[in-house]
């Protein structure tokens, strides 16, 4: 039985106080995400319920109940407070997907700090840009990542503490360094949680930099309201679920839905801290009997590439519900998952700045493969003209996605960058920077980033549409489409393609792909050139950085590449 019920009824009777009442939150009272994700669940009689099942790359496993979450987050919060860290100080989490990352996030919020999660593969310069912007007070890390921090310590007098969670016993630490062992530390049963309120700052997330310099997105504790309810209704989290969100908490999905949404709903969450392989992932699902799986299109396409034979080696029958996030989900992937898993991956649309799911496909809703779905209840979204910023009066027209401000998890500002924040709002709408159309049933269809859309001879071409057509060719593993300068049409379509094993780039293959795509697209949308490359530039969260390919075609500066998966 799904949590969502009738979508039409939810829309008709919706108010955010549905979540407030379920969470026993009274507006104006204290609201602390850390408490709601641990102490509250214990008070509900679930203290001994498994909260976190963690598995490392060597196969080692650790399990934590909700009471373990409560005690360990209290202990971390107490430790930080004893160090002299004050409410609203920024505390960076710079770790692999280890238990201390998930539990430390709650501990920081409990003592009133602002959690600043950063992806552990960042190099020292990428790390410095973000720590410097936030004027971070403390960083919690592992000994394997400590050298990167030490390299930039002299440039950061404001960074008072580097806390190493797995420091070698007896080994001397450097200036401003301190060891903390969560497992061995004396547990704090009673902890005075800092009285944070709805508008108290909670998380500072840095955007992936796909459109320039990374910006610090400030969220508040009231974001819990959105994250709790979208987890319950869209991800359909139920008390009996074993949930796996594959996202790293260095990115917003890994915190909104890999920490807050999961724990506030009191479900059991599994975390795999190991490299990707189809065998590894399917084994993990079988071993832990995963029921709800939230992943990304990049990973799904990699699983498609691995083929169907590997799936037959594992029992994946426990899977009940699948969802996807990060980039638009190609219709081919939706159809494939329905074929091999017996259920489709449901696309969800949102971003760092929105803090929670905005436009989505719901359990039980009619799925149109390739569509983003419809706005979540309580979200007013439409498509507007890029020049007048007025909504279109008809369906099918391509325009800017626009969302009416006011949902609980909306960012409150960009850190030290209020002017850029204000520029995200036009004519009473928040603009995520993406283009879409809406069909006559109210479904949204993603076209591309506003700066990705190709204007060829006055006609708008969706990179996503072309990429989807290319991906249907049996030789194509991944594709990225950008504009290429053209004397007559100003811009034409160019495609970058990586090939599946067993295929080799050649003029014959180029022609075969062209002929294949020609049957699917209008002449204007046809690639004028295909370039075969070994790999596409991506952020570490899996987003294809089309702007890098675009910049090379136009001879422009590439800009910030700190989140490239191979950039250190």
What distance in Å separates the CA atoms of residue 332 and residue 336, rounded to the nearest whole number?
Answer: 6
Confidence of residue 211 (pLDDT cuts 50, 70, 90): very low
Q: Are residues 78 and 220 in the same domain?
A: yes
Q: Are residues 387 and 469 in the same domain?
A: no
Is residue 566 included in any domain, yes or no? no
Is residue 149 included in any domain, yes or no? yes
Confidence of residue 290 (pLDDT cuts 50, 70, 90): very high
Is residue 565 included in any domain, yes or no? no
Q: Which of 403, 438, 473 is the last residue of a domain?
A: 438
Q: Are residues 426 and 462 in the same domain?
A: no
Which residues does 192 contact at the CB level (< 8 Å), separation at least 6? Answer: none
In the predicted structure, residue 115 carries a pLDDT above the cut 90: yes
Specify the pLDDT at position 391. Answer: 94
Is residue 450 included in any domain, yes or no? no
CA distances from 201 to 373, 425, 442, 480, 566 (A): 31, 21, 35, 37, 32
Indicate the number of domains in the chain.
2
**pLDDT greater at residue 396 or residue 497:** 497
In the predicted structure, residue 395 carries a pLDDT above the cut 70: yes
Q: Are 140 and 94 in contact (CB under 8 A)?
A: yes
Q: Are residues 288 and 339 in the same domain?
A: yes
Q: Are residues 331 and 463 in the same domain?
A: no
Domain of residue 504 covers 456-554
Helix (H), strand (E), coil (C) string for 11-38 = HHCCCCHHHHHHCCCCCCCCCCHHHHCC
Confidence of residue 560 (pLDDT cuts 50, 70, 90): low
Is residue 36 included in any domain, yes or no? yes
Confidence of residue 464 (pLDDT cuts 50, 70, 90): confident
Give the residue from 402, 401, 376, 277 showing the smallest Cα distance to 323: 376
Q: Are residues 469 and 400 in the same domain?
A: no
Supply φ then ψ for residue 38, to 5 degrees: -140, -70
Specify the pLDDT at position 169. Answer: 87
Q: Are residues 494 and 538 in the same domain?
A: yes
pTM of the model: 0.87
Burial class, 557, CB count within 10 angstroms (exposed 0-12 / middle 13-18 / buried 19+): exposed
In the predicted structure, residue 568 carries a pLDDT above the cut 50: no
Is residue 561 included in any domain, yes or no? no
Q: Are residues 475 and 412 in the same domain?
A: no
Is residue 559 included in any domain, yes or no? no
Q: Please state, for a pLDDT cut of 90, what percent of the chain lies above it.
A: 77
Q: Are 109 and 90 in contact (CB under 8 A)?
A: no
Query: What tens digit of pLDDT does each residue of 157-210 get?
Result: 999 999 999 999 888 899 999 999 999 999 999 999 999 999 999 999 998 544
The CATH number of residue 306's host domain is: 3.40.50.12780
Q: Which of 412, 438, 464 is the last residue of a domain?
A: 438
Query: What tens digit of pLDDT does each residue of 331-351 get?
Result: 989 999 999 999 999 999 999
Is residue 54 included in any domain, yes or no? yes
Q: Are residues 514 and 382 in the same domain?
A: no
The CATH number of residue 543's host domain is: 3.30.300.30
In the predicted structure, residue 566 carries a pLDDT above the cut 60: no
Instruction: Find the DSSP H helices in 293-441.
Output: 297-306, 331-341, 418-422
Q: Are residues 497 and 422 in the same domain?
A: no
Confidence of residue 212 (pLDDT cuts 50, 70, 90): low
What distance in Å separates the CA atoms of residue 495 and residue 479, rounded to the nearest whole number?
Answer: 7
Q: Are residues 339 and 378 in the same domain?
A: yes
Q: Are residues 462 and 433 in the same domain?
A: no
Q: Which of 376, 410, 438 is the last residue of a domain?
A: 438
* Overall average pLDDT of the 81-90 stretch: 98
């Amino acid at each position: 039985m799904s949590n969502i019920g009738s979508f039409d009824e939810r829309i008709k009777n919706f108010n955010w106080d549905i979540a407030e009442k379920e969470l026993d939150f009274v507006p104006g009272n204290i609201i602390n995400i850390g408490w709601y994700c641990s102490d509250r669940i214990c008070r509900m009689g679930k203290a001994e319920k498994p909260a976190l099942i963690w598995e490392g790359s060597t196969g080692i496993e650790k399990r934590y109940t909700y009471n373990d979450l409560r005690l360990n987050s209290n202990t971390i919060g107490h430790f930080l407070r004893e160090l002299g860290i004050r409410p609203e100080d920024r505390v960076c989490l710079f770790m692999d997907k280890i238990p201390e990352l998930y539990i430390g996030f709650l501990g920081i919020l409990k003592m009133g700090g602002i959690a600043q999660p950063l992806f552990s593969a960042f190099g020292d310069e990428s790390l410095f840009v973000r720590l410097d912007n936030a004027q971070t007070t403390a960083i919690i890390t592992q000994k394997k990542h400590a050298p990167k921090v030490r390299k930039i310590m002299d440039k950061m007098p404001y960074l008072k503490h580097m806390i190493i969670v797995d420091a070698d016993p007896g080994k001397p630490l450097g200036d401003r360094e301190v060891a903390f062992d969560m497992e061995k530390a004396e547990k704090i049963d009673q902890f005075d949680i800092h009285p944070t309120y709805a508008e108290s700052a909670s998380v500072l997330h840095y955007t992936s930099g796909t459109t320039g310099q990374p910006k610090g997105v400030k969220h508040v504790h009231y974001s819990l309201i959105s994250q709790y309810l979208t987890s319950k209704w869209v991800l359909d989290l139920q008390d009996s679920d074993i949930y796996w969100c594959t996202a790293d908490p260095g990115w917003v999905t890994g915190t909104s839905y890999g920490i807050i949404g999961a724990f506030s709903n009191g479900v059991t969450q599994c975390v795999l801290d190991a490299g990707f392989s189809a065998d590894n992932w399917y084994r993990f699902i079988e071993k832990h009997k995963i029921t709800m799986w939230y992943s990304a299109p990049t990973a799904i396409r990699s699983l498609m590439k691995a083929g169907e034979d590997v799936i037959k080696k594992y029992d994946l029958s426990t899977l009940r519900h699948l969802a996807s996030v990060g980039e638009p989900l190609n219709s081919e992937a939706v159809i494939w998952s329905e074929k091999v898993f017996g259920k489709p991956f449901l696309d969800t649309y949102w971003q760092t700045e929105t803090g929670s799911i905005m436009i989505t496909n719901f359990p039980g809703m009619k799925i149109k493969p390739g569509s983003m779905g419809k706005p979540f209840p309580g979200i007013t979204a439409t498509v507007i003209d890029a020049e007048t910023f007025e909504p279109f009066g008809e369906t099918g027209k391509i325009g800017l996605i626009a969302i009416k401000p006011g949902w609980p998890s909306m960012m409150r500002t960009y850190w030290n960058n209020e002017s850029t924040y204000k520029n995200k709002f036009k004519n009473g709408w928040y603009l995520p920077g993406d283009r879409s159309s809406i069909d006559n049933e109210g479904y949204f269809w993603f076209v591309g980033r506003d700066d990705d859309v190709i204007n060829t001879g006055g006609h708008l071409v969706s990179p996503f549409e072309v990429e989807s057509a290319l991906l249907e060719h049996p030789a194509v593993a991944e594709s990225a489409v950008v504009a290429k300068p053209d004397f007559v049409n100003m811009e034409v379509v160019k495609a970058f393609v990586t090939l599946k094993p067993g295929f080799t780039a050649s003029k014959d293959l180029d022609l075969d792909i062209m002929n294949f795509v020609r049957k699917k697209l209008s002449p204007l949308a046809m690639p004028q050139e295909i370039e075969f490359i070994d790999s596409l530039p991506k952020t570490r969260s899996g987003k294809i950085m089309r702007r890098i390919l675009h910049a090379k075609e136009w001879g422009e500066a590439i800009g910030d590449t700190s989140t490239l998966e191979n950039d250190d």
